[in-house]
Amino acid sequence: MSENNTTKFRSRRKAQNTADIVTYILLSILGFMWVFPFIIIILISFREEQGMDLSYIIPRTFSVQNYIDLFTKPIVSNTTFGVWFKNTLLISIVVTIISTFFVLSVSFTMSRIRFKMRRTFMNIALILGMFPGFMSMSAIYIILDAFGMLGKLTSLMICYSASAGLGFYVAKGFFDTIPKAMDEAAWIDGATKWTVFTKITMPLSKPIIVYTVLTSFMGPWMDYIFVAYVMGTHSDKYTVARGLYMMIDREHAQKMYTQFCAGAVVVSIPLAAVFLSMQKCYTEGLSGSVKG
């Protein structure tokens, strides 16, 4: 009986090891397939030879000239990639601050405060969120034109931030998991709703804050359609998404493809920096709560 049990244990152990090996191999293949395009982009960005020749991956001659030209040589209408990068960074930072405050405030209100038409408002927000944003571009264009705001960075900041509050459902679901007894105890002690929001709810909500910040930052950083529609021919007001697209159009693709790859690498750096700097905030816990 003991020998049979030992044999069965070894068989199960061998089957488990085989399954683990197959799983690791499969995950390695999938991981390589996911990383491979990024490796190609990075290698091409350091290629000294110009053009779109993709018959070889590893550059014959490595150089950082593409990165230098990216910020020194004008791409269109005496505008360099650095101008687009600065525009995008400014817009993303402002929009992130405003949008994060809007989303968290609306989420807290929907989760903690009961008022008339609350359920109706949530249903309307849910329905509006099902429609793509570009469906409203014609109306937004007419409004911006009427106020003389076409071709201005402030118009992008306002439009990106204006509807941020409608994306409250994810944060609201997180706030619903926080015990309401903590809020009630604070209210008994004389705390205001703002105090509860800032001193109790926010310290307990670091993961959803990080999520909101990342999504708010990535929206303006990667948007192309709205910028192309609103900015028109004002190339000095373009963002990196619109600028990178211009670098691979029919007019510029052959001579700027390597610079485009360098730009793609540069664009990914702020996103990676924001994520890595806020990654530690993903850890949930009650240690940050401050009663007030």
Q: Tokens 């968290």, residue? A: 104
| pLDDT confidence band for 90 (50 / 70 / 90) | very high
Q: 10 Å Cβ neighbour count for 192? A: 12
- For residue 285, is pLDDT > 60? no
| pLDDT confidence band for 282 (50 / 70 / 90) | low
The domain locations on the chain are 2-66, 68-282
> Coil, strand, or helix at residue 50?
coil
pTM of the model: 0.79
Which amino acid appears at position 75 of this protein?
I
Contact 134, 142 (CB under 8 A): no
CA 136 – CA 228 distance, rounded (Å): 15
Q: Which two tokens stand for residue 114?
A: 């009961």
Contact 126, 169 (CB under 8 A): yes
Architecture of domain 68-282: Orthogonal Bundle (1.10)
Q: Please list, in sequence order, all residues whose beta carbon lies within 8 angstroms of the beta carbon of residue 263, skipping any fewer than 6 positions away.
A: 70, 81, 240, 243, 244, 247
Q: Give the pLDDT confidence score for residue 286 in this predicted structure.
A: 37
| pLDDT confidence band for 29 (50 / 70 / 90) | very high
Span 96-153, pLDDT tens digits:
999 999 888 888 888 888 888 888 888 888 887 777 777 778 888 888 888 888 888 8
Tell me the mean pLDDT in the region 254-268: 86
